[in-house]
Each structure stands twice: as structure tokens, then as C-alpha cells.
Amino acid sequence: MSAQVIALADVRAQDPDRDVAARHLPAVMSPAQLGKELDVTVRTLERWRVAGEGPDYQNPKGTRFYRYYGSDVEAWLENRKPGAATPGQDTNL
């Protein structure tokens, strides 16, 4: 798991009333933007989408574009335990 994902989850665990803006997550993000925020690749986000393991996303009908809402990413981080493995990460290392 990337250090930034752990840090965001830890911040949420310490102060659950903080809003998305306080964590500097944009309201709407492309996969590239979210990848930078979480320190993961766009391909990792794609694998999470296919496996249903990552944050919720939006795919406007008739397009090939995906968007992530900051509030959905926050909800995903909130439901993860701090220090938990990133979806698909090998924990048997």
C-alpha cells in the first residue's frame, strides 16, 4: 500500500469529522489525478475497478472516461483499516 493511502486512512481514523477539502482531495478526479493522490498507477485503479475493490467511480453513459468523486474516495478510505493492504496487494511477503 502506498504511504499516502495509509496516511489518508490514518488521518480519517484520527479525525472522522474532517471534510474532503481539508485533505486536499479535488471534488472530481480523473484516474490519473486519483493515481497521483493515492500514489498508485492508473493501471492499478483499472484493476481495482474490474475487481470491484477500489473506490466508487462514475462512468458517464456512452463514454470511455471514468471519474472519481472525492467524497467516494474518502468513504472508501474511511471503510479501510489504517495499515490494511491495498486491494490486490500480496500480503504474504
Q: Tens of pLDDT along 7-21?
A: 555 655 555 554 444
Residue 17 lies inside a defined structural domain of this protein: yes
Residue 62 confidence class, pLDDT cut points 50, 70, 90: confident
Instruction: Report angle CA 74, 78, 82 to the nearest 5 degrees.
Output: 120
- pLDDT score of 41 more than 90: yes
Residue 57 lies inside a defined structural domain of this protein: yes
pLDDT in the model for residue 33: 96
- pLDDT score of 39 more than 60: yes
- pLDDT score of 50 more than 80: yes
Residue 55 lies inside a defined structural domain of this protein: yes
- Report the domain count for the chain: 1
% of the chain at pLDDT higher than 90: 51
The b-or-e profile of 54-93 (16+ CB within 10 A means b, else e) is bbebeeeeeeeebbbbbebbbebbeebebeeebbeeeeee
Residue type, 93: L
Domain span at residue 16 reads 3-78
Length of the chain: 93
Nearest to 25 by CA among 51, 53, 4: 4
